[in-house]
Amino acid sequence: MQIIIDKGIPFLQGVFPSEIEVKFLPPEEITADSVRKADALFVRTRTQINKELLHGSQVRFVATATIGFDHIDQDYCREAGIHWVSCPGCNAQAVCDYIEEAIASFNSSPSRGRSGEGFTIGIVGYGHVGKLVAQMAERKGYKVLLSDPPLGIGMSLNELAPLCDVLTFHTPLTHEGEHPTYHLCNADILRLCKPNALIINAARGGIIDEQALLPCLITSSPHRLIASIDCWENEPLLNQALLEKVDLASFHIAGYSIEGKMRASEMCLQAFCEFFSLPILSINKKLVPLQGDSAPGWLQRISNQLKAAPEHFEQLRKQYKLR
């Protein structure tokens, strides 16, 4: 049996028995040629799981060490008999910590005139992350409003937007169905928001219509909004004009923490063992990486890095030390 693993997925070195051939590759080297003889893939969002990659291969199992799975062509995998799994909730606490830091920065800036007291946070999507964000906000004394129509929870986004000082999105990216989330936050929604409200996207690029958001961030706008963006449309090719105007920008690392990465690797490994009817293997916890910057203000420091060198988006992401 052969497994190909994105080398950015930690804690899996030295885990597999000797009869399993394991190749750790950077995502750009996970190609149709390199996976042709593989039985299983462990990937991240940078690898598109589709016919172009997998046709003619012997891959039967794909695990993505991420919450999101819009990089997986589910219809093709179903037709080809390829089983795939994601890791829902693996990095939920890390994303919640990101939201907390974004709000702290929002509150601490004198120019924004915020005390942090008595304001309302609107949470769009009440899954693993949304629930933790709600708990965090309630601990801090914020009023919490929810919107999750697929679950029948809370109010519509149209009703929610005008009531919130902070509007944060925690949904998957979907293009079809009764409640598609692509450009869920569009020009109509943005016009409904309170002036100087904080808009946060730490979910998936494409949930916010970036072209609609850009004019709302101009300082002279009578209806100016503030934005903290971690997930971008078309990343790593960022909208440069938007990057300049957002208050906080990061390189898709909201969910990057030691705990989150460890949990994702565990979930992928367990699913692999169950699919192939193997004894359950354990991740290599001896490989804990050096912990990164988590002191107050860490998100502002990351934002400064990205704004100074947006062309290094992928490099900054790869070199980011886990919180």
Delineate the domains of the chain, giving CATH numbers in brackets: 2-90+257-287 (3.40.50.720), 92-254+294-319 (3.40.50.720)
* pLDDT reported for residue 116: 55
Burial, 270: exposed, middle or buried (Cβ in 10 Å; 0-12, 13-18, 19+)?
middle
* 3-class secondary structure per residue, 282-303: CCCHHHCCCCCCCCCCHHHHHH
Active-site annotation holder among 204, 263, 317, 323: 204
| 252 in active site | yes
Active-site annotation holder among 252, 263, 317, 323: 252
Q: Which two tokens stand for residue 236?
A: 């790593």
Q: Which two tokens stand for residue 119?
A: 């304001």
Active-site annotation holder among 101, 233, 235, 266: 235
| 235 in active site | yes
d(CA 255, CA 260) in angstroms, rounded, equals 7
Describe the chain by its helix, strand, coil percentages, rounded to 5.
35, 15, 45
Strand (E) or helix (H) holding 131: helix 128-139
Contacts of 140 (CB under 8 A, 6+ apart): 116
Q: By the 8 A CB rule, do 147 and 170 touch? A: no
Render each residue's pLDDT in the chain as its tens digit; 323 residues: 999 999 999 999 999 999 999 999 999 999 999 999 999 999 999 899 999 999 999 999 999 999 889 899 999 999 999 999 999 999 999 999 999 999 999 988 655 545 556 789 999 999 999 999 999 999 999 999 999 999 999 999 999 999 999 999 999 999 988 999 999 999 999 999 999 999 999 999 999 999 999 999 987 877 799 999 999 999 999 999 999 999 999 999 999 999 999 999 999 999 999 999 999 999 998 887 778 889 999 999 999 999 999 999 999 998 998 88
| 19 in active site | no
Question: Hey, is 35 helix, strand or coil?
Answer: coil
Contacts of 312 (CB under 8 A, 6+ apart): none
d(CA 210, CA 309) in angstroms, rounded, equals 20
Q: Which two tokens stand for residue 112?
A: 């924004």
* pLDDT reported for residue 5: 98
**DSSP-derived pairing of the beta strands 143-148 and 153-154:** antiparallel
